[in-house]
């Protein structure tokens, strides 16, 4: 059974810091991995999607890496801003084929102070 | 593009009543939709996979007779919580996978429905 773990559960940083969020998963047979952002009481915003054959994806100040063999992914946020404060969720496909649901971690709640 | 809506965004009901939640893909067709549930401070947990024109596939521990799923068209899936109880109070989120999938197999999530059962 696939399990997704995110460390740390919460993180507080001052504005401008670079930071890394960690995600690990127990079964390396995945189709893709996604990082999402969730604001309190809101739905999900997709940040980055990494196919199982890829090593990393970048979007603006965000960079996500994937090491499928070791079951790990990191989300790097550069020059953090107060607007980055949210919960960040890591999710992997339920299997190694397209069209499956996602298995989510519990998230890392980030607070960036000005 | 690729917008998914949910209705209602929040609902409060009395214990024992039934509540229907709609999930619509507004600008694409979705053969497959997924229903998730999120309790406070917890992650999203998959409840069921909804396929257009066929019966939903439920995850272990999810009662199919309590959580009725209907996916009657390529743009609409509904989740009905029957005889709701306070323990069913949660945040329900759907996602939709565009028909054909595409290379990246992206899913698009709705904004969620907050259900409170009194």
Q: Summarize pLDDT for B46-72 with one digit per residue, the tens.
A: 999 998 888 899 999 999 999 999 998
Rounded Cα–Cα distance for residues B23 and B69 (Å): 11
pLDDT at B103: 58
Of B102 and A112, the one with more pLDDT: A112
Closest Cα in chain B to A94 = B46
State pLDDT tens for residues B4-55.
Answer: 999 999 999 999 999 999 999 999 999 899 999 999 888 899 999 998 888 8
Distance from C-alpha of A96 to C-alpha of B112, rounded to nearest angstrom: 27
Give A8-66 pLDDT, tens digit per residue: 999 999 999 999 999 999 999 999 999 999 998 888 999 999 999 999 999 999 999 99
The region that residue B112 occupies, defined by phi over 0 for left and psi between -120 and 50 for alpha, beta otherwise, is left
Q: What is the DSSP letter of A97?
A: S
* pLDDT, tens digit (0-9, with 9 covering 90-100), for A70-101: 999 999 999 999 999 999 999 999 888 877 89
A54's tokens: 């890829």
Q: Which residue of A31, A42, A105 is in closest CB contact with B105?
A: A31
- SS3 state of residue B88: helix
Pick from B97, B103, B111: which is nearest to A99 by CB?
B97
Q: What is the pLDDT of residues B89-106, one digit of tens each?
A: 999 999 998 887 665 578
Chain-chain contact of A106 with B112 (C-beta, under 8 angstroms): no
Alpha-carbon distance B15 to A110, whole Å? Answer: 36
Residues B118, A111: Cα–Cα separation, whole Å: 33
A-chain residues near B44 (CB < 8 A): 44, 89, 91, 102, 104
User: A104: which chain B residues are within 8 Å (Cβ-Cβ)?
Assistant: 36, 43-45
The whole-number pLDDT of residue B99 equals: 83
Q: What is the mean pLDDT of residues B76-86?
A: 96
Query: CA-based Rg of chain A, rounded to a whole angstrom?
Result: 13
Cα dihedral B102, B71, B3, B28, rounded to 10, equals 50
pLDDT at A106 exceeding the cut of 80: yes
- The token pair at B55 is 């019966």
At B40 the pLDDT is 85
Report which of B112, B103, B85, B106 is spatially closest to residue B30, judged by C-alpha positions. Answer: B106
Contact A2/B at CB under 8 A: no
| Interface contacts A/B by beta carbons within 8 Å | 54
| B-chain residues near A36 (CB < 8 A) | 109
């Amino acid at each position: 059974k696939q399990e997704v773990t995110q460390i740390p559960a919460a993180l507080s940083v001052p504005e401008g810091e670079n930071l890394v969020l960690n995600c690990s998963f127990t079964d390396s047979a995945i189709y893709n991995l996604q990082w999402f952002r969730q604001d309190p009481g809101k739905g999900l915003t997709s940040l980055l999607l990494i196919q199982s054959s890829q090593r990393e994806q970048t979007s603006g100040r965000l960079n996500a890496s994937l090491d499928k063999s070791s079951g790990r992914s990191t989300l790097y946020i550069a020059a953090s801003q107060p607007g980055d404060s949210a919960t960040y969720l890591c999710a992997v496909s339920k299997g190694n084929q397209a069209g499956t649901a996602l298995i989510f971690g519990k998230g890392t709640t980030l607070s960036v102070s000005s | 593009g690729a917008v998914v809506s949910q209705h209602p965004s929040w609902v409060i009901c009395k214990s024992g009543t039934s509540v229907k939640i709609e999930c619509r893909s507004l600008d694409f067709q979705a053969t497959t939709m997924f229903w998730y549930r999120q309790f406070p401070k917890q992650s999203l947990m998959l409840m069921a996979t909804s396929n257009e024109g066929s019966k939903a596939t439920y995850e272990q521990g999810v009662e199919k007779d309590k959580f009725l799923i209907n996916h009657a068209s390529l743009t609409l899936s509904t989740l009905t919580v029957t005889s709701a109880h306070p323990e069913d109070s949660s945040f329900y989120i759907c996602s939709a996978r565009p028909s054909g999938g595409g290379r990246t197999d992206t899913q698009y999530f709705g904004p969620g429905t907050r259900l409170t059962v009194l």
